[in-house]
Structure formats: C-alpha cells, structure tokens
C-alpha cells in the first residue's frame, strides 16, 4: 500500500517519476522560482518507493539534498504544489470551441433541413385540402395564413437588418468599416509582438493576471477579437464555411486559451503563433488605405506577406514542440531553442542549405520538417525569385521626374525604339545648336531593351526614361507634363497600317491636351488626310506652336521638287538636318559635297543697319560681307499680320525687327546679321571679327532682342487659318506685267479656289487611261513617269501630295510637265478621287517591271522617273522592304534605247493622250531651249527612288564603293539626288521645336504653296474646289519657285568657265532678282580628263570664290514671270532642260583641265583670305551694290548666247528627219 501510494505520488508529480526515489525535475530552460520540499516529506516519499532494507534507511535521510523536487511557480501565487502541466486544458478549450460550434452548426442545418421537408409535405396536404373544400371556404382559410406570413416577414426583416448592419461594419466600403478592419489587423500584429516577447519565457509557467502587464494587454486584444468574431459570424452568409476559414481557426486557437490562462493563473504559449497568419491580409489593408495602386506593388506585397506569414507560423510550431518534447516520451526529449533560432532553422531548411548547427530532436518536430520541407522548398523556389524580380525592376523606370531649376524639359512619347531615339538625340543634341539647355524625358509603356538603356545612360545628364503611357493621367503627372516646354510624339514610319498609327498618335494628342490644354505638341503624322482630325481637338492651336509634321506630304513633296530640279530633295533634306563638318583633303567630289552638308537653316533678327534697304541689297551684303545666305524673311504688314516671304524682290524694304532665314554652318555665324553695324563693321573684311559693338543701336531698345524661345515663337507667322502664309509679294494690282489679268475670262475656272494650284473639272478615270498602244503612238517627252507598286489591299500613299507641287500656279499652263502613272489600275482607282481635278495626268495600267510598258511611255525622254511602293511596310524582313523599288530601278538602268528615238516628236496627225493639251507645242521644255539629246542607255535616265530601309541604298548603284555601314547622307545615290528615304525627315522634329518657322518655310518650298485654308477645305470635301480668277487669287501666282540655271549658254556663260560663284550670285541677284543657293555638278568635273559619267551631286551654299565649270547647273529661286505665258524666251531652264543642255555640252565642250586653272583653295579659311583680297579690290563699287536697286526686277527680252555650229547642225538634222521617221516601238515581253 505504501509502494502504491509512493508510486502514485511520483506519477502525480508531473510525469517525471519513474523508478523509486527519483525526484521530479522540470526542463532546464524554466526561469520560474523553484521551491524545495520538506526533507521529511521527501524522505517519506523516497522511502516508500524504495525496497524494504534496513541498511538503506540511513542513506534515505540525505537523499532530498541530492534530488530536490523543482516545479515552475511564481513567488506571489503558489501553483499546483505537485507541479502538474496544464497544457491540455488550453488545447481542450480551443478544441471544444471549434468542434462544439461545428457540431451546433451541423445540427442546426440538419434540423432546418428536416423542418423544411416536413413543412413542404404539410404544405402539399393543406393545398390538397383547400382544393377539396372548394372556393367558398378559401377566403376564410387565407386570413390566418396571411397573418402568419406577415409575422415571418417581420422576423426575416429584423434578421436581415442586423445582418446588413454587421456586414457594413466589417466591410471596407464605409469609413467605419475601413477603420475597424485596419484596427483588427493592427491589434493582430500587436498580439503577435506580445507572442514574440513571451517566447523567451517557458512554454508553460505560472502567471498572475493582475501583475503581468503583457497578459492584460493580450486579454484586451482578444476581447476585441471576440467581438469582431461575433460581427463576422452575424454577417456571414454561410456559417459553415465561415467556421472553417483561416481567420476563424486563428481565433479558435488563440482567443479561448487567454481566458483559460486567467482562470488557471498560468500561461501557455501554445498556438498563439497562428496570429502570424493575419499578415496574409496586409495587401488588402494597404489597398483599403489606397496605398497600393499598381499591379506590381500589389503582387509584391502579396508574395511577401504569404512567404513571411508561413515562415513565422512554421517557426512557432517548431518552437513549441522542440521546447515541450514528445508527449509519449513524457516530454523528456525536449531541447531549449529560442523562437528566433527556429526561424533561422526553417530558413536554412527552405533554402536547402541545412548547415546542421540547429536541427529538430523531437519526433513531432522531425515529422513536421518532413512535410514542411516539401512545401517550403516549393514556396521558396517560386516566391523568392519572383519577389527579387519585382523588387529589382519595380522602381527602375518608375518614380516621378524632378525638374531642375532654370532648365526646361520636353516629353517625347509615341514610337520609342533604338533607331528613332538615336536619330532624335543625334539631331536634338547636336553641337552646332547654340546652348541646348533642355532635358529630354521619354515616356513609353514598354521598358527599354539593353541597347536603348545603354543609349540613355550615355546621355544621362540630359535624358531620362519613365515607363508609362500618355493615355494615363497619372503617368502624365509623373513626367510633369503641365510644366513641360513641349511634347513631341514620334510615329512608326514602318508600320503596316498607317491609318491605325495616326489614330494612335491622335489619341495621344487628345489625352495630353485633355490633361493640359496649353501644352505645345509637335506630332508626326503618316497620312495627309489624317491631319484634318487634329482640327477637331478644341485645344489644338497652331498659333501656340502646335504642329503636325506629315511625313507623306513632305516625302512626296521633296520627290516632286526633284522632278522640277533634280537633287533638290537632297539639298533641302541636308539643310534642316544637323550635320558636322567633315574635312577631306583630297580633291574629290565628297570634299565639296560635305562642305555643303555642314550647312543648316537658322533664323535671326536683322540688325537695324539693314532697315530701309531692299531685300536683294541685304541679301547681297550678307553673302559677300557676312558670309551668310539669306533666302527669306518674316514680314509684318501694316495690320501687323506676319507672313514668310521667300526672295520677295527689290520692291520690299527691310523693317525694324525683321526675322531673317539664313543658311549657315552653325548658329554662331548667323549672329553676325544681328550684330552687324555699318559704322563699326563697314571696313572689316574678316567676318569672324563681326561681333557685338559698343554702338547704341536700336536693337538694344526694341523687343527684337528676344530670348531664344521668343525668337523661335515670335508671334508672327504660324500655320493657322487666321495667319496663313501670304505668298504674294505686294498688291496684285501693282504687279508689273500683270495686264493678262484684265484680259482674263473671269468665267473660266483654271485654278483652285485659293489660286495656288492649277485646276480642271473632275474627270472620270476611264478618260485618262492609256493602253500600251495608245501610249506608244504618242511620243511623250519632257514628262514625269511615276512607277508605283500597289494593289487593292495596299495602304494609300497619298499621290495628291506628289501631284500638287507639280501643278503649282506659279507655273504657266504650258510649263506643266505631263504626269504618267504606271501601275496597278486597282490601286490607282483608290487614289483617283484625290487626283481627278489636276490637268495633264494619264494612267497606263501595267507594272513598272515591264519594259514594254516603260518603252510605251518613252521613259528615255522623261524629265524624271519616280519609283514608289505602297507595299513596303507589309514585309517583316527590313532588307526586303525595298525589293520592288530596287528591282524597278535596276531594270530601268539596264535598258538600251535606239539613238533615233530621242528626236521623234508627235506630228499633227498623232494621238494626243487624255489630259494633254494639244496646243502645247510639242511638249517642248518651257523656255525654248535645246531639246534633249538621245539617251541610249537607262543609266542616264533621271531617276529618284523611294527607300524605306536606309541600308538598301547600296543596291541602287552597282558601280559605287559605298560601305554598307555608311550613313545615308554620305552615300552616292543620296548625294546625287537619286534616292530618298523617309528617315531624313526625323530631323524636322528637332528643327520644328527650336524654330517653328522652319517647318513653315520647308512646307512652302516643298508643297508648292499648301495653306491651312486649303487643308481645311480638303478636310471638308477631300478634293480641290475650282475658283474663278480674280485679281486676288491670281496674285497668289506671284511667288518664287525653284529652278536650275545652266551655265553652258545664256547671259551667265562667261562665268561658267573659271568664274566665281560669288560673281554669279551677285549678277543674278542684281540683274534678275534670282537667288542662287547651290550647284548641281557632274561627279567627275574635278578631274582633269573628260569623263562619260553623267552623275551629278549637290553642293549647298558654296563660298564666294568657289570656281564654276561650264557643265554646272545652279539651284536658284526665280521670280514668277508674268510674260512667260505669252513669250517663252526666258532665262531659266526647267530641271530637264538644264540637264539636257549640260549633257549635250559634255559632248561638245571638253571639261576644262584643272592644270590650266588656278589651284582651288583647299579650305574655307583660305578661300576667305582670297575673298578678302577680292573685296578690297571692289572698293567703292562694292558699297554701291548695297545701296543700288537692281536695274530690272523682271527679266524679259533676254538675249540668249548663240548655239555652236555643231549643235545647230545636229538640231537641224533632227528636225529634217523627224517628219520622215515613223514612231518606233520595240515590242518586248514583260519582265
């Protein structure tokens, strides 16, 4: 009996009993105070458990000192004197709560289901009885049923109201709900922090609720959690699923144990670590507070919260089982681990590192690790790389632009690629621009690739990139669009659907203007007809600097001008592109070409020293003394309306504050026009010494000395309907030689309503279609052949932009070149609606690859052959985008022609093609010069080919040595004007931003005089409207046009052989009001030996002392000749006539040898020195040039130099044989 009692006492001592006499010890990590029992009680307990031996009684007296009984207890509140564990009570409270509630919910559902079934059966029985009782008793039985339904409805309404109230309280839709949700989350984190603090204490210890501050706080938190649990339970639609939710399980295993701990005066860590699962809701809380807005941030917080909550929860379980031990081992295999050591253990386990310094010893811990390592490894391998990717890429191109004080910034968006950005930056940040203190902010919704990112890093001081969309107001606010100086929108020139690309850019304009209506926008447009949609935007204002650069309009306009003066497209493209000067010592054609390439177009206000002088006088003074070429001015009329006048003539006097347009090599040179002072600089011969002087000039007192921004946006000429370019030079009633207006039949419509273009009544396409035989019967000559590739599904090119410059009204009707389109009739029918109002247009259905079609239109007699393609952007491989144009060009160049074809002309009985005026005498060149000699090979046919890919230019000329990596402007086809790529127009974005008048000037030169009024009219009717001839509309014809002047014959022939370009410039300007600005020279003209090569290249703005050769063609701006319609004897040639003369001259006159001429200066500096000596010799005569007016502003009755005997004999021979030889046609199969 004593043994049994002893054993029971031992077992009741906390499970540490075992063999007789062994005392109970708790685990070594218990930090509570220990109490030693009485020696007597210990001795009694020890003796009762030992074997009965008389010899051992004495030793049992000393045993309590060796094995004292130790239990956890506080000093204030004595725990169970037997040291019994109570963990099961805490766990039981949670289990009873969870399973008890689950049982009640299931029981309620079962009873409700049975009640519903029973009521359903009873309802059917009552319904049958009502049917049997008849309708007479129906009224009496319905009343109590209605009353019962009202009571049930009232009850349901009350329950629903409470449920709705609870739902509102816990939802984040109201302020109260958001506050409550955030408060619950914050308290959950607080409870988790309390757990972290208590984790340093024993797993189970005696605690006094009234003394333990952390227990009191934890108790308050859990009371709040209990109330919140009640609200959630009431608001839940499905009580069963609510009971099984994660948050509910967390409450079951954390709230009840707190109340048990208060009752038992002891604490058990237990499952309080489950509060870490509340971290999963961290993303929702931040969204409620409107902190997380982007998908990336939400995803990042979700991944982090799930990873951290799982990590901390698993660490809490390991901490519990390892510090407690296995129950079946009587908790003897425990080990002392802190909570943070468990956190470390799980991290090295998830990462599969497993150092082995900390590991699980208990069976429960090891079993948990087996399952956790599977899920933890999967979570670690999936979540950590994704979290790292989001963190590394999250803020790389995010954030907000911080504007630095004193620096402007622009926003560039749209088509952002390595090619478009590099071309833009190369031109925008060019060193020739004067102090570009502008930051460039790129905004695009796709992150840049590595190459583009490297480009941004190379320009990090002035360039920043932000990822976003201009369609998102938040992204517009990030880049400070409201304080930006301008917004530039780049277009994808190579897209398959130009209309869709234009629609995208228009939407960008709408979004930006909607966010900030006053922002200046410069956008690229692909199609001309889409420009009209910009006018529908209320805040789009041309006066405030908004501009639309239509690539199709300008591209085809450049090509059209090359039909009038070959090589002009290259010259104009180089003028608005920023190119650095490349010095070449060798005497090659590249040397002179590159000297001209370094010139650009600038604007500067003219000095007060020029006030009162005529335009030719100022132009001559600038060229001779200041080494500047002025081609136009911005003129303000008496009503302060501004207009750009190109080479206006000697009638116009320079006003104060006049803005001049100059061609120069850099912006610093143009400053000379502003600093020039007659008193200080009159005797200076070196233009570099012309700087600001100390004289009191009117500029210092006038607002003409504006800031660069005001200079660029001087409130003058803008492309607005209210201030459109007025190209008339003066009052139309005072125009010399304007007697034809009086005799004009005002009832005949020959021009459009603006008077800018020739017009005819709309024609059906069937009337202008030529068959191959009809075209062959008509010996076309001096015409323009347009070879076009396209089909019914191709995007429209916009051929109207090609035809309009060729039908400008500053040409007389007989000067218009006939245009023949060769291509698919299905495609041309789609374009015809925009072309049917232009005269002298014909169509030959066929293909440009057919030599038979090309011979039928006499391609060897044309002034220009244009090769276009509408299928270029439908091919993914960029190298093949230009295959059709290249094949057509090579096909033409390989053709051979009979020598006699060049002299054939249509006789009076011949066929006149539709649209051609029979009264036009033989379709001869407009100024009665010599007819083109015969062309026997296609290489000599003037061709201009449109390219999409710049690198494909190497395939056009097989005999050149251009490297494939050479830039387009350095290649021979581009320098010769035989190739044109739309990429050269990218520079217009920068040029327009720095000076918006440049775009107006370029459009005026290129489009033939298109005005905003005309654009608005075309937007309404999609066609030109005819108008009656009035003095006002006819006065619009009086504007300059570009032509080429041949030096072989005429009044300038004496300067053609060894003369100076400056002498030619001054003579043409003084005598004929012609403004020369470049040379079109034979490629091999610098060689001493004659050459058969007919290729020419462009020289822009040569210096004064530049030596001329007889075969040169001079680019000039010539005045409108009012008498040319009556007498065709005139000075200037068309491009075809000039080229023809030069070609013939090469066979008659040998090219002057360089050995017989003085050596040309090798650089501009040496030329300037030579010119200084020449200017000193001029003396007073030079000063007289600056004050005298030209003798005759309108050249008439000019005596042409007699042609050579050999040339006359050849022409007479042609005339004598032309009536005898029938039209020759060679029949060839189509290629």
Q: Report the pLDDT averaged over residues 739-747.
A: 47
Cα→Cα distances 1095→563, 930, 960, 1098, Å: 16, 20, 11, 10
d(CA 45, CA 36) in angstroms, rounded, equals: 14
User: Model confidence over 582-597: pLDDT tens digits?
Assistant: 777 777 888 899 989 9
CATH number of the 408-540 domain = 3.40.50.720
Q: What are the tokens at 699?
A: 């500029």
Q: Calculate helix-pair angle for 363-394, 339-350, nearest 10 degrees.
A: 70
Cβ-proximal residues to 390 (8 Å cutoff; 6+ apart), any chain: 296, 299, 300, 303
| pLDDT of the residue at 873 | 66
| 739-748, 928-937, 1050-1059: segment of lowest average pLDDT | 739-748
- Confirm if 1225 and 855 have CB atoms less than 8 A apart: yes
Per-residue pLDDT for 1157 more than 70?
no
| 127-131, 565-569, 840-844: segment of lowest average pLDDT | 127-131
Q: How many CA atoms lie within 13 A of 491 on its CB side?
A: 33
d(CA 1161, CA 1143) in angstroms, rounded, equals: 27
| pLDDT of the residue at 133 | 56
Per-residue pLDDT for 462 more than 50?
yes
Q: How confident is the model at residue 68 (pLDDT cuts 50, 70, 90)?
A: very low
**Residue ranges with strand state E in 491-609:** 521-525, 547-550, 600-605
User: Model confidence over 398-431: pLDDT tens digits?
Assistant: 888 988 777 899 999 999 999 899 989 988 988 8
pTM for the full predicted model? 0.67
Cα→Cα distances 222→172, 187, 188, 215, 1099, Å: 22, 9, 9, 10, 90
User: Model confidence over 490-540: pLDDT tens digits?
Assistant: 999 888 889 999 999 999 999 999 999 999 999 999 998 898 899 889 999
Q: How confident is the model at residue 1204 (pLDDT cuts 50, 70, 90)?
A: very low
| pLDDT of the residue at 268 | 84
Closest to 1112 measured CA to CA, from 1078, 1087, 1155, 1089: 1078
User: Model confidence over 774-811: pLDDT tens digits?
Assistant: 988 888 899 999 999 998 888 889 999 999 999 999 89
User: Model confidence over 1111-1130: pLDDT tens digits?
Assistant: 999 999 998 887 765 544 34
Share of the chain above pLDDT 70, in %: 72
Q: Is 521 helix (H, G, I), strand (E, B) or coil?
A: strand
Higher pLDDT, 1136 or 233: 233
Q: Report the pLDDT averaged over residues 1206-1230.
A: 33
| pLDDT of the residue at 558 | 94
User: Model confidence over 10-47: pLDDT tens digits?
Assistant: 333 333 333 333 333 333 333 333 333 333 333 333 33
Closest to 11 measured CA to CA, from 91, 89, 85: 85
Per-residue pLDDT for 967 more than 70?
yes
| pLDDT of the residue at 914 | 40
| pLDDT of the residue at 920 | 40
Q: How confident is the model at residue 747 (pLDDT cuts 50, 70, 90)?
A: low
User: Model confidence over 288-345: pLDDT tens digits?
Assistant: 888 887 788 888 899 999 999 999 999 999 998 888 888 888 888 888 888 899 999 9
- Confirm if 281 and 245 have CB atoms less than 8 A apart: no
Per-residue pLDDT for 666 more than 90?
no
| pLDDT of the residue at 734 | 36
Q: How confident is the model at residue 996 (pLDDT cuts 50, 70, 90)?
A: confident
- Confirm if 461 and 440 have CB atoms less than 8 A apart: no
| pLDDT of the residue at 762 | 92
**Topology of domain 292-394, per CATH?**
Helix Hairpins (1.10.287)
Q: Name the strands in the sheet holding 629-636, side by side, starting at the edge strand that comes first in the sequence.
A: 600-605, 659-664, 629-636, 642-646
- Confirm if 443 and 471 have CB atoms less than 8 A apart: no
Which range has highest mean pLDDT (196-205, 487-496, 951-960)? Answer: 487-496
Higher pLDDT, 507 or 709: 507
Q: Report the pLDDT averaged over residues 1089-1107.
A: 86
Number of Cβ within 10 Å of residue 1132's Cβ equals: 26
d(CA 522, CA 499) in angstroms, rounded, equals: 18
Q: How confident is the model at residue 435 (pLDDT cuts 50, 70, 90)?
A: low
List the chain domain ranges.
2-84, 87-132+154-289, 292-394, 408-540, 1040-1200
d(CA 389, CA 393) in angstroms, rounded, equals: 6
């Amino acid at each position: 009996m004593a043994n049994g009692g002893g054993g029971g006492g031992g077992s009741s001592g906390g499970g540490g009993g075992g063999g007789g006499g062994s005392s109970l010890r708790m685990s070594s990590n218990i930090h509570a105070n220990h109490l030693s029992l009485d020696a007597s009680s210990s001795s009694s307990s020890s003796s009762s458990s030992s074997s009965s031996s008389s010899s051992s009684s004495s030793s049992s007296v000393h045993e309590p000192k060796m094995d004292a009984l130790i239990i956890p207890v506080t000093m204030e509140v004595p725990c169970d004197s037997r040291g019994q564990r109570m963990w099961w009570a805490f766990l039981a409270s949670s289990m009873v709560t969870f399973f008890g509630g689950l049982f009640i919910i299931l029981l309620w559902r079962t009873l409700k289901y049975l009640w519903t079934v029973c009521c359903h059966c009873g309802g059917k029985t009552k319904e049958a009885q009502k049917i049997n009782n008849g309708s007479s008793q129906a009224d009496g039985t319905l009343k109590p049923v209605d009353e019962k339904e009202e009571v049930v409805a009232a009850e349901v309404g009350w329950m629903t109201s409470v449920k709705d109230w609870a739902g509102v309280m816990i939802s984040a839709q109201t302020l109260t709900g958001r506050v409550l949700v955030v408060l619950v989350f914050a308290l959950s984190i607080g409870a988790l922090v309390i757990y972290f603090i208590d984790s340093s204490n024993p797993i189970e210890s005696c605690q006094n609720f009234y003394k333990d501050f952390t227990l009191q706080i934890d108790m308050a938190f859990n009371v709040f959690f209990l109330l919140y649990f009640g609200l959630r339970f009431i608001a839940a639609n499905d009580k069963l699923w609510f009971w099984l939710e994660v948050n509910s399980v967390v409450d079951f295993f954390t709230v009840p144990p707190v109340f048990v701990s208060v009752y038992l005066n002891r604490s058990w860590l237990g499952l309080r670590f489950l509060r870490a699962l509340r971290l999963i809701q961290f993303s929702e809380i931040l969204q409620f507070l409107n902190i997380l807005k982007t998908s990336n941030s939400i995803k990042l917080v979700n991944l982090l919260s799930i990873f951290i909550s799982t990590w901390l929860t698993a660490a809490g379980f390991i901490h519990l089982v390892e510090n407690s031990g296995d129950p079946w081992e009587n908790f003897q295999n425990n080990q002392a681990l802190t909570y943070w050591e468990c956190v470390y253990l799980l991290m090295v386990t998830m990462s599969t590192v497993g150092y082995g310094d900390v590991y699980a010893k208990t069976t429960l811990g090891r079993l948990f690790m087996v399952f956790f390592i599977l899920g933890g490894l999967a979570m670690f391998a999936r979540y950590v790389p994704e979290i790292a990717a989001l963190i590394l890429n999250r803020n790389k191109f995010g954030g907000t632009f911080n504007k630095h004080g004193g620096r402007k910034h622009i926003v560039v968006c749209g088509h952002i690629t390595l090619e478009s950005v590099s071309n833009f930056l190369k031109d925008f940040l060019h060193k020739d621009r004067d102090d570009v203190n502008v930051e460039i902010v790129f905004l695009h919704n796709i992150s840049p690739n590595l190459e583009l990112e490297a480009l941004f890093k190379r320009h990090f001081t002035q360039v920043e990139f932000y990822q976003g969309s201009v369609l998102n107001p938040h992204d517009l606010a990030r880049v400070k669009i409201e304080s930006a100086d301008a917004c530039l929108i780049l277009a994808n020139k190579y897209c398959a659907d130009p209309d869709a690309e234009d629609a995208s850019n228009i939407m960008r304009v709408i979004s930006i203007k909607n966010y900030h209506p006053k922002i200046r926008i410069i956008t690229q447009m692909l199609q001309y007809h889409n420009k009209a949609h910009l006018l529908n935007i209320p805040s789009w204002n041309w006066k405030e600097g908004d501009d639309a650069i239509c690539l199709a309009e300008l591209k085809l306009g450049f090509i059209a001008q090359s039909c009038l003066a070959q090589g002009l497209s290259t010259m104009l493209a180089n003028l608005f592109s920023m190119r650095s000067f490349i010095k070449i010592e060798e005497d090659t054609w590249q040397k002179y070409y590159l000297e001209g390439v370094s010139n650009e177009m600038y604007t500067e206000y003219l000095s007060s020293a020029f006030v009162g002088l005529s335009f030719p006088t100022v132009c001559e003074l600038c060229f001779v003394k200041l080494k500047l070429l002025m081609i136009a001015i911005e003129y303000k009329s008496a009503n302060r309306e501004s207009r750009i006048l190109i080479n206006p003539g000697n009638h116009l006097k320079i006003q104060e504050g006049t803005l001049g347009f100059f061609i120069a090599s850099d912006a610093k040179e143009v400053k000379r026009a502003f600093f020039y002072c007659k008193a200080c600089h009159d005797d200076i011969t070196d233009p570099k010494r012309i700087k600001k002087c100390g004289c009191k000039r009117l500029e210092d007192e006038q607002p003409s000395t504006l800031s660069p921004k005001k200079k660029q946006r001087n409130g003058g000429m803008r492309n607005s309907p209210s201030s459109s370019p007025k190209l008339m030079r003066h009052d139309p009633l005072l125009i010399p030689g304007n007697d034809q207006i009086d005799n004009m039949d005002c009832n005949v419509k020959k021009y459009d309503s603006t008077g800018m273009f020739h017009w005819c009544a709309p024609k059906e396409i069937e009337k202008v279609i030529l068959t191959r035989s009809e075209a062959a019967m008509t010996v076309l000559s001096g015409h323009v052949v347009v070879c076009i590739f396209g089909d019914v599904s191709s995007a429209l090119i916009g051929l109207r932009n090609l035809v309009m410059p060729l039908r400008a009204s500053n040409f007389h009707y007989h000067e218009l070149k006939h245009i023949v389109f060769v291509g698919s009739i299905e495609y041309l029918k789609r374009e015809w609606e925009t072309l049917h109002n232009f005269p002298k247009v014909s169509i030959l259905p066929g293909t440009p690859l057919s030599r038979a079609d090309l011979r039928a239109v006499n391609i060897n007699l044309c002034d220009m052959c244009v090769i276009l393609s509408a299928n270029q952007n439908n091919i993914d491989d960029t190298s093949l985008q230009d295959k059709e144009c290249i094949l057509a060009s090579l096909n033409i160049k390989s053709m051979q022609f009979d020598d006699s074809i060049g002299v054939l002309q249509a006789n009076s009985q011949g066929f006149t093609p539709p649209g051609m005026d029979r009264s036009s005498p033989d379709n001869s060149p407009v100024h009665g010069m010599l007819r083109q000699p015969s062309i026997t090979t296609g290489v000599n046919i003037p061709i201009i080919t449109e390219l999409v890919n710049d690198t494909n230019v190497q395939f056009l000329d097989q005999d050149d040595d251009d490297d494939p990596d050479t830039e387009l402007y350095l290649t021979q086809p581009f320098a010769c004007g035989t190739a044109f790529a739309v990429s050269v127009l990218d520079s217009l974005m920068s040029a327009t931003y720095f000076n918006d008048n440049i775009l107006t000037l370029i459009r005026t030169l290129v489009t033939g005089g298109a005005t905003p009024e005309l654009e608005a009219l075309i937007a309404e009717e999609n066609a030109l409207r005819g108008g009656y001839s009035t003095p006002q509309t006819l006065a619009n014809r009086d504007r300059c046009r570009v032509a080429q002047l041949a030096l072989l014959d005429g009044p300038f022939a004496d300067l053609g052989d060894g003369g100076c370009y400056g002498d030619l410039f001054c003579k043409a300007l003084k005598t004929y009001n012609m403004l020369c600005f470049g040379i079109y020279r034979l490629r091999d003209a610098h060689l001493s030996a004659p050459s058969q090569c007919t290729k020419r290249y462009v020289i822009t703005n040569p210096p004064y002392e530049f030596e001329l050769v007889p075969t040169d063609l001079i680019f000039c701006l010539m005045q409108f000749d009012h008498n040319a319609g009556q007498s065709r004897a005139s000075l200037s040639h068309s491009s075809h006539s000039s080229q023809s003369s030069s070609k013939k001259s090469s066979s008659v006159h040998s090219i002057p040898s360089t050995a017989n001429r003085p050596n040309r200066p090798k650089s501009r500096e040496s030329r300037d020195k030579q010119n200084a000596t020449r200017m000193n010799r001029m003396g007073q005569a030079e000063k007289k040039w600056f004050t005298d007016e030209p003798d005759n502003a309108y050249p008439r009755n000019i005596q042409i130099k007699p042609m050579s005997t050999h040339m006359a004999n050849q022409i007479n021979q042609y005339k004598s044989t032309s009536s005898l030889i029938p039209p020759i046609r060679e029949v060839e199969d189509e290629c």
